[in-house]
Amino acid sequence: MYILYGGDFTRAPLVQWVLEEGKIEYELRKIDILNGEHRTTEFLAINPAGLLPVLITPEGEALYEVAALMLYLADRHQLTELAPSSIDPDRGLFLSTVFHIAGDIQSEMKRFHFPHRFSLRRDDDDGIQDLAKSLVLSRLNVMNTRLAARGPYVLGSRFSLADFYLVFWTAYLDRRAACERFPLIARLYELVRSRPSATPYLEETERAADVYAEMMKKHPGGVIA
Ligand SMILES: N[C@@H](CCC(=O)N[C@@H](CS)C(=O)NCC(=O)O)C(=O)O
């Protein structure tokens, strides 16, 4: 059986959703990042990077990096309705999108949520957050253009986990502003959100994004150090 280490205000729901979609047996163990549980000796022994999510495989290996975890599960359990197989012609566009989200969108979301880690002066935090948001929006703009050429999903008429991945980060950014600005992202958002398996995860993500935004206002020096 798999063990998924996740918790509130983490990206673990992305992995949990794949596990649920694939009807794969797992146990969820919650780590409280707001109280620094990800920096305890116990957790660092599981993931020395001190980051979530972590997936323990049935063989006992501890894996991390959310995009890798989703791809690994989809490939290992042949969830080809979520991830085109390695010989499927859609695999290229699928991988290109997943790697783009992992490398260029998520990294800016880190700056958006943790601007204090990237600034030398507290006064710079707001600017760093604004810049991160505008970079994510410019990347969503590119996605919007791609969806205009081939939509409504990232792979055209075919849903994949890339759609859920993109929508998840849209929810964590500022979904209202993003959806107002980019009609094809808005359409994708609604299509994904209306999938019964995705609805509870996106509702929870929307709530978490709103709560986190409030916490950021109350703790301008950083919600998590
Ligand atoms: N590149 C990693 C980043 C993981 C990551 O930053 N996880 C966040 C939760 S979503 C975390 O553990 N944050 C705690 C911290 O940064 O102190 C991935 O995509 O899985």
Indicate if 98 and 31 belong to the same structural domain: no
Query: In the predicted model, what is the mean pLDDT of the chain?
Result: 97
Which among 2, 24, 10, 3 is positioned nearest to 197, based on CA atoms? Answer: 24
What does the pLDDT average to over 85-105? 98
CA 173 – CA 11 distance, rounded (Å): 13
Indicate if 51 and 138 belong to the same structural domain: no
Indicate if 119 and 162 belong to the same structural domain: yes
Query: What separation in Å is there between the alpha carbon of 30 and the centre of ligand 1?
Result: 14
What does the pLDDT average to over 108-124? 95
What does the pLDDT average to over 153-167? 98
10 pocket-lining for ligand 1 (C-beta < 6 Å): yes
Indicate if 214 and 106 belong to the same structural domain: yes
Query: What separation in Å is there between the alpha carbon of 114 and the centre of ligand 1?
Result: 11
Residue 107 lies in a domain: yes
- Is residue 158 pLDDT above 90, yes or no? yes
CA atoms within 13 A on the CB side of 15: 29
Indicate if 125 and 195 belong to the same structural domain: yes
Indicate if 95 and 55 belong to the same structural domain: no
Q: Whose CA is nearest to atom 1 of ligand 1?
A: 65
Domain boundary among 46, 76, 106: 76
Q: Which atom of ligand 1 is nearest to the CA of 39?
A: 17
- Is residue 124 pLDDT above 90, yes or no? yes
pTM above 0.85, yes or no: yes
What does the pLDDT average to over 78-106? 98
- The best mutation among 15, 37, 52, 54 to test binding of ligand 1, ranked by most ligand atoms within 8 Å of the C-beta, falls on 52
Indicate if 99 and 183 belong to the same structural domain: yes
Q: What is the pLDDT of residues 40-82, one digit of tens each?
A: 999 999 999 999 999 999 999 999 999 999 999 999 999 999 9
Q: What is the pLDDT of residues 195-204, one digit of tens each?
A: 999 999 999 9
Percent of the chain with pLDDT over 70: 100
Residue 210 lies in a domain: yes
Q: Whose CA is nearest to atom 16 of ligand 1?
A: 51
Indicate if 68 and 101 belong to the same structural domain: no
pLDDT band at 88 (very low <50, low <70, confident <90, very high): very high
Q: Which atom of ligand 1 is nearest to the CA of 224?
A: 17
Q: Which atom of ligand 1 is nearest to the CA of 11?
A: 10
Indicate if 70 and 7 belong to the same structural domain: yes
Indicate if 13 and 98 belong to the same structural domain: no
Domain that residue 44 falls in: 2-76
Number of domains forming the structure of the chain:
2
- Is residue 220 pLDDT above 90, yes or no? no
Q: What is the pLDDT of residue 221?
A: 84
Residue 85 lies in a domain: no
In the numeric block, which tokens belong to residue 47?
A: 């993931």
Residue 86 lies in a domain: no
Residue 61 lies in a domain: yes
Crossing angle (nearest 10°) for helices 12-21 and 161-181: 130
Indicate if 9 and 45 belong to the same structural domain: yes
Residue 67 lies in a domain: yes
In the numeric block, which tokens belong to residue 77?
A: 């359990």
Q: What is the pLDDT of residue 180?
A: 97
116 pocket-lining for ligand 1 (C-beta < 6 Å): no
Q: What is the pLDDT of residue 46?
A: 98
Residues 103-112 as b/e (b if ≥16 CB within 10 A, e otherwise) read eebbebbebb
What does the pLDDT average to over 168-176? 95
Are the beta carbons of 140 and 170 closer than 8 angstroms?
yes
Q: What is the pLDDT of residue 135?
A: 97
Q: What is the CATH number of the domain that holds 40?
A: 3.40.30.10
12 pocket-lining for ligand 1 (C-beta < 6 Å): no
Residue 225 lies in a domain: no
Beta bridge partners of 5: 29, 54
Residue 131 lies in a domain: yes
Beta bridge partners of 158: 155
DSSP state of 26: E
Indicate if 37 and 100 belong to the same structural domain: no
Q: What is the pLDDT of residue 11?
A: 98
